[in-house]
Structures are given as structure tokens and as C-alpha cells.
Structure 1
Amino acid sequence: MRKHYLFILLCVFTLLTNCTGGEDPAIVSENIGPAVIKTGKLTGTVISQNGAKPIGGASVFTFDDKYKIYYTTSDADGNFTLEAPVGNRTIHIQTGNGSNFRSEISASVKDNSTVNLTTTQTKLNQVAKIAYVKGSYDKIEDIIQTLGYTATAITNNDLANLTTISQYDIIFLNCGSRNYYVNQSLYPAIDANLATFVANGGSIYASDWDVAYLVGGTDNTSNCSPAGGFVPDTKLCSMNQGSQGIVPAVVTNTALSSALGFTSFNIDFDLGAWQRITNYDPNYWEVLVKDTSNSALMIRTNHFTTTGAATTPIGNAPTSTFVTVCITLPGNIQVSISVPQVLVPYLVALGATVGPCSGSSNSGYIYYTSFHNHASGNIGNAGVILQYVILNL
């Protein structure tokens, strides 16, 4: 009986020791879910550098402390509302992929409040070096200047000098600048230099007859394989078959139509003849504007590649601390933006990729339009489209 009593006491002691002695028992934490990030709103209007024009389709974004992006775009009137994490933030405003036109401003985001940014803060600055070649039927430099941006006049002699053109980021080729009066012995050098320029990230715009810079020929082209040029003949054919008159047109690119605020407009082709795009490679070119018969009127590409072209720094690239990356937004929407180089490793760790979301990682843009800013003509809403071209190169 005594042994049985001692055994019971030993068991009780053991239980008490396990309950009160040794290591503290584990505490199961409650599942409180992810931390709630406090946010506020920033509103404003993106405007051109001189404050004269609202800019639609601009990217407006910032990052939180863990490098998550908060992103929106400006509407056709330049207005935007950006939800952003609370605190002192750097707000980025860009067009295109941000390599040529961008601004960075500091803003304090307040919890559950809206802060209105002034137009002094939301101006879109020019970081690109822009050049243009004077033409007979085009003056796109006028549009550049009305936006408050600057461009330098160069000649076909300059296009034949790679050292000269490589200092620029963008070159505008006004309709009629390539013609029979130019020393045609320059054309092989011009063609080779433009190929090198675009292959290394430079962008160009050509209108109407200046498709000859792309595919060859002078003044205008009348067949699908003219001599010269630098874009392969299999990628584009344009013939001088257009006639004078009003052509109804449709904006087929969603980003462009959102930036412009319209999807249809009329183009006044006030010359007796103009270039029709008769054939193009849809995997190479993106169509931005068509006529009602489904013929392309405005195309662009950043898929240009070439073999044997020299590797050379273009424009502000040698001094830029910004890098183009591709970020995927909710809804599997991809956007190309330029960010400070110091952010790149953190963004890549979150799934971003270095380089644009589409096209060649090194190629600049080529824009071609069959319409233009005629020196004496009235192109109506086409002028607004050319503003978009300028800012998105």
C-alpha cells in the first residue's frame, strides 16, 4: 500500500514539473494577415515643358519601401490620379519608355488624403537630344517648338557623318528632305549610318516621301525594291499612289487612342500624290492608324536589327544613370519604363526584366507616317498625333 502511495506522489510531482519547470511552452501566434499599407492620392496634370499643352498617355508612377510599383497614366487632357504609399516619395512622369522624356519630383503622400500637384511640378522634361532635317513639305520642328522642346537642324551631309548623328537620341526626317538635289553619293553612308543609329538605340521619324530613307530611292518610291535604304524590302513596301483629298482614319492602338481622346479623324492629303503603304510585315511593324479600307497609315517598330553595325553610344546614353526595364502590372499588363540604375536589382528580384517589354533590347524606334505636318496645309487632329510621336520616340 505504501509503495502504491509513493508511486502516486511521484506521478503527481512529474506532472507538476512538466507544467511549471524547464523551457517555456511554445506560444502559437495569431494569423493577423499581411500588413496593411497606408496610402493616399496624388492628382495633377501632365503638361509640356513650356506649360502650353496637356500630355495624354504619360506614365506616372512611384515605388513603396519594398519596391512595389504604383502606376497610372494621364488621360487625354493630361489629368491623372495616382494612389501611392504614405511617406516622402519620388514620383516619375514619363512618355514612351522614359528614355527621352521624363521628370522626377518629390512629393509627400498623406494617409487617406489627396495632394494636388501643381503644373510647375508636373511638367514633362526633355532629356533627349533631338535633331531634324528640313524638308519641302513638312515642318515637324514647329510642333516640337510649340511643346517647348528644342531640336537642332542638321543636313544630309550631317547624316553621312556617324560621329555627328550619334550625339542625338532622335532624328526627324521631314518629307522632301531626301531628293534629287542632294548629292546622291552620300546615300550609301546615310543608309549605313541610320542603320547603326537605330541598332544602337537611336530613334527616327520619317513621313510620306521620306520613306526613301527607310527603303531606298529618292523623293518618293514607286516599287517594292528601290536601291538603298536600310530597312529590308521584305519588311515594308510603300508606293507613291495616294491622291489628293480627305481620308477618314481610325486609331487602332489602344494606348494612342486613350492619349488622344478619340479613335477616328480625317486627314487632309492636300498634295497631288503621297505614299501608300502597300505591304508590311505585321510581326515587324505595329499599326497605329489605318484608313477605313484597313490600309496602314501610321506604323512603328523597335524590332530593327542588323549585322556588322558598329557598337556606338547614342545621345545621352553615355551619361545616363537610367535603365529601361519591363514591369508586369496587375492584369498581366506590361509596361516599359526607365528607372534609376540603383533600383534595377530590386525590381529584377520582384520579376522585372531589363530592356523593353517587346522588340529588340538594343533597337530604337522607327515611326513612319504617310501623313505629315505640311507647311501650308491643314492636317487637323493629325497634328495631335504627331505630338504623340514626338514624345513617345
Structure 2
Amino acid sequence: MRQNYLFIVLCSLVLLVNCKGGDDSVNPEDSKTLPTGTIEGKVFAKNGTKPIGGATVFTIDSKNQVYHTYSNADGSFSLTAPEGNTTLHIQTGNGLNFRTEIPITVKKDETTNVPTKDSKLNQIAKIAYVEGSYDEIEAIITNLGYTATEISYQDLKNFNTISQYDIIFLNCGSRNLAQTGTSSPGNDLSVFSNLSTFITNGGSIYSSDWAAAYLVGGNQNAQSCGIAGGFLDFTKICFNINGNASMYNNCTVSNTAMASALGFSTLDIQYDMSLWQKIQYYDPLFWEVLVQKDNEPLMIRTNKYVDKTAPKTTVGTSLNNNHMTICHHTANGNTVTITINQNAWNAHQAHGDYMGSCSGTTSSGNIYYTTFHNHASGNIGKAGPILEYVILNL
């Protein structure tokens, strides 16, 4: 009887080990029965010259197990995957805005190299920007090989117009150009309301320097804490225009994923004009600090914003109708955010995966705010790669 009992226990343990699947790497038990090969390549932006670090590279086998890795700062990657015909997925951010899918054949114990022409990151998102006086983020978007449509300040007052986009860039000084003719943000309630609804329903925004007024209220900028009118209240964030023209030395990229993707964690940032918008207060439970100087936040983001009064509506390009973002649980206990075809959801759900980003608690889009930006006239140094990273991860 004791021998039978030990045999049953041993069989149970073997079954438990084999149920782990094939995420991340192939363990010794799997390697005896699961032939694998290696996929290698380099991820580039659409321009074919800018390497992209921090991209998620993965394949999914017939049992909906995910094998994944991340591209290095020079864009290179090496992925172990099961033998056979499969699809190689390359994504940044949550995969909804930028992604590429490549049919590939993995050969046992061999390395398959992905041609550069195939590993360029495609733009899925529809991107809009509002022209600014001091920031030209659209120039960086174009240099990467992607496209963005200019919309006006007045367009922000029409939700049907902005809802067709996935990402909206609000350049510093764009409210200058709007010439609203008012010092009161009350006349812009439609803009604040539309941006609030846009984000709540999955759209993402980038706001730089004086464009803080889009978040908390103000005319050309948010002159001080206490102005009312934006969609973010002052328990979340407030600003003051008291920044001096100066060089900020030894700033830190405090987000480890960003630093790894960029290949550097410190930089000097030039503020070429005075009266730039400083962050006076922020809620650390709501915002994540991405770049800072000592304890001063210089770039922050959140995906926790929800307007419970906002209507539920469709935002973004129809190309994502058949795709969804999920948090996938790997065999080693980690998680990875990927975008998959909706037809595969039931199988992933059966594995314990859930809808949405692994880092988010809502289905809302991202809000990025940065005190520094693309200078309209001059070199921005190592701040440039940070802004490129932001574009691809919104």
C-alpha cells in the first residue's frame, strides 16, 4: 500500500510540473519533449534606422502559452520558442497603438534571423496633435516614420472629431495659438469634458509644459495652484509657472523599464526659456514619476484616471476592434501585458489571464505630462530619446 501511495504522489507531482506551460523559457522537463529554436532580430521604428528598446517580443503556441522577451536598448532580441510555424509579435506599450506581426518558422536547435524590413514597428493608432508655440512633438513623430494629423483647439470642443483618434498630443503653447479671448477657463468646459471622456474610454494624451492648463484649468497656462476648471482637481496635481531658464544636470530616469529601453538612467535637461510649468504637488498614488531631478518630478504619467460621469463610447481606430489588451500570467509567476486577437481570449482567460494592462486598475488611457519638451528651435539632447519612448508607449 505504501508503494502505491508513493507512486500516486509521484504521478501527481509530474502532472503539476507539466501544467506549467512554456512561458519565458523552456525548463528542463519541457526541453525533453518540446523541440525549440531561437528567433533573433532587431526592432526598428518605421524609419528603419531608429532602434527600439523595451519592445515586447513574443510568440503564442497552440496551447496559448506565451514565450516572450524584450528588445535591448540597441533594438536587438533573442527569443526561444517552440518548433514550427508561428507568428512573431512585436509591440510597445500595451500593443494597441504600435505593433507588428510576422509569420515565421522556428526550426529545432536552429536560429532564425528576422530581416530588418520585417521587424519595423507599425503604427496602428490614429494620432492627432494641436500645434504649439514652443513644442513640436510632431517633428519627432515624423522623424520616426509615423504620421500625425493636425487638429485645432476648436476641434477639441467636438467629441466626434477627437474620438476617431487613439492619441492626442497637446503641445506647449497650443492654448496661446487658440486665442480663446478669455482669462476664465469656464468657457472651455467642453474641452475639459471631452478630454475627460476621451481618456476614460481608452484614449491617451500627452501634455507638455504650459499645456498643463488642459489638465487643471487656466488660459494660456496654469499660473498657480488654485485655478479651477480642468478635469483634474488639485488633490491630484497642481502647477506654477516659476521655472527658470537653466540646465538641469544629473536628472534621473526613475522608471526602470524606460531606463532599460533607453540604455541610460541619467541625463542633463535644458530648459531654454523661463516661466516653464513646475509641478508643485502631485498625488504619488495616482501618478508615476518617470523622470526627476532629486525629488522634483519632471515627467509623470497615470492610467488611473476615471470619470464616472463620462458616457461609454468608442474611441480610436477600427483596426483595434478585433484586438484586446490582456495581462498574461507566465509559468514562473510573472505577468506580461500583450495585445491579442479577441478570438483567443477564452483560452487565455482559462489560464487565469485578465483583461487590461498588468500595471493598470482601469481601462482608461494614459495621461503623460512633461515639463520639458521638443524645443521649437534647438537640440534637446538626450531628452529626445525619452520623448521617442513616450510616443511609442502611449
Normalising by structure 1, report the TM-score.
Answer: 0.89
Q: Does 1:47 align with 2:44?
A: yes
Q: CA deviation at 1:301?
A: 0.4
What amino acid is the match of 1:307? K
**Counterpart code for 2:179:** Y
Structure 1 residue 59: Cα displacement: 0.4
Q: How does 1:76-95 map to 2 (within 5 A)?
A: 76-95=73-92
* Distance in structure 2 (CA, Å) of the matches to 1:334 and 1:367: 23
What is the distance in 2 between the residues matched to 1:126 and 1:313? Answer: 19
Amino acid of the structure 2 residue aligned with 1:271: M
Q: Cα deviation per residue 1:233-274 (whole Å; 9 max; x = unaligned)? A: 210011111111110210011100010000000001010221
CA contact (8 A) 2:124 2:319 kept: no
- 1:160 and 2:157 equivalent? yes
Distance 1:298 1:380, change over 3 A: same
Residues 52-71 of structure 1, C-alpha deviations (whole Å, 9 max, x = no match): 21111100001122111100
Q: Distance in 2 between matches of 1:239 and 1:224?
A: 6
Corresponding residue to 2:180 among 179, 182, 185: 182
Task: Supply the distance in 1 between the matched residues of 2:97 and 2:60 (Cα, whole angstroms).
Answer: 21
Give the aligned partner of residue 111 of structure 2: 114
Q: How far 1:356 sits from its partner (Å)?
A: 1.4
Name the counterpart of 1:14.
none
Shift of 1:338: 0.6
Rounded to whole Å, the distance in 2 between the matches of 1:230 and 1:318 is 29
Instruction: Please give the alpha-carbon distance, in whole angstroms, between the structure 1 residues aligned to 2:156 and 2:314.
Output: 16
Equivalent residue runs for 1:281-360 within 5 Å:
281-291=283-293, 293-317=294-318, 320-329=321-330, 331-360=332-361
- Residue identity matched to 1:253: N
Letter in 2 for 1:181: Q
**Whole-angstrom distance in 2 between the partners of 1:332 and 1:242:** 44
- In the alignment, the residues of structure 1 paired with residue 144 and residue 162 of structure 2 have an alpha-carbon distance, to the nearest angstrom, of 23
Aligned to 2:23: none
Deviation at 1:330, TM superposition (A): 5.0
Q: Residues 143-171 of structure 1: CA distance to partner in whole angstroms, max 9, x if unpaired?
A: 00001100000011100000000000000
Report the Cα distance in structure 2 between the residues aligned to 1:186 and 1:118, rounded to whole angstroms.
53
1:1-393 matches, within 5 Å, as 34=18, 36-179=33-176, 181-184=179-182, 187-248=188-249, 249-291=251-293, 293-317=294-318, 320-329=321-330, 331-393=332-394
SS in 2 for 1:386: helix
The answer as to whether partners of 1:156 and 1:182 remain within 8 angstroms in 2 is: no
Q: Aligned-pair distance for 1:331?
A: 5.0
Structure with larger Rg: 1
Q: C-alpha distance in 2, partners of 1:186/1:104?
A: 45
Indicate how the Cα distance of structure 1 residues 192 and 201 shifts in structure 2: closer, same or farther if over 3 A, else same: same
**Residues 183 and 344 (structure 1), Cα distance of their counterparts in 2 relative to 1, 3 Å cut:** farther
Distance change (3 Å), C-alpha of 1:58 and 1:214? same
**TM-score, length-normalised on structure 2?**
0.89
Q: Distance in 1 between matches of 2:356 and 2:348?
A: 12
What SS does structure 2 have at the residue aligned with 1:385? helix
What is the Cα-based RMSD across aligned positions, in Å? 1.9
CA contact (8 A) 1:305 1:360 kept: no
Please report how far the alpha carbon of residue 203 of structure 1 lies from its aligned counterpart in structure 2 after TM superposition: 0.2
Amino acid corresponding to residue 54 of structure 2 in structure 1: G
Please identify, of 122-131 and 237-246, the stretch whose mean Cα deviation from structure 2 is larger.
Answer: 237-246
SS at match of 1:276: strand
Q: Helix, strand or coil for the counterpart of 1:178?
A: helix
CA distance in 2, matches of 1:361, 1:237: 23
CA distance in 2, matches of 1:118, 1:97: 24
Distance 1:114 1:183 in 2: 63
Paired residues of 2:98 and 2:125 also in contact (CA < 8 A)? yes
Q: For the residues of structure 1 that align with 2:234 and 2:194, how far apart are their CA atoms?
A: 18
Q: Deviation string for 1:360-381 (max 9, x for gaps)?
A: 4321000000000011132211
Residues 176 and 210 in structure 1, CA contact (< 8 A), matched pair in contact too? yes
CA distance in 1, matches of 2:320, 2:134: 35
Residue 294 of structure 1: how far off its partner (Å): 1.3
Q: Distance in 1 between matches of 2:78 and 2:123?
A: 23
Aligned position for 1:20: none
Cα distance, 1:224 vs. partner?
1.8
- Choose 177-186 or 293-302, whichever is displaced more: 177-186
User: Separation in 2 of the partners of 1:99 and 1:318?
Assistant: 9
Residues 203 and 315, structure 2, Cα contact 8 Å, conserved in 1:
yes
Of the structure 1 ranges 304-313 and 383-392, higher mean CA displacement relative to structure 2 is found in 304-313
Structure 2 regions of 5+ residues with no counterpart?
1-6, 19-29
Given residue 149 of structure 2, which amino acid in structure 1 is its aligned partner? Answer: T
Give 1:97 shift. Answer: 0.3
Structure 1 residue 183: Cα displacement: 4.6
User: Counterparts of 1:361 and 1:113 in 2: how far apart (Å)?
Assistant: 42
- Give the whole-Å Cα distance in 1 for the aligned partners of 2:123 and 2:333: 30
**CA offsets per residue over residues 23-55 of structure 1, 9 Å max, x none?**
xxxxx9997965521111000010111212111
Residues in 2 aligned to 1:321 and 1:345: alpha-carbon distance in whole angstroms: 14
- Residue 174 of structure 2 aligns to a residue whose secondary structure is coil
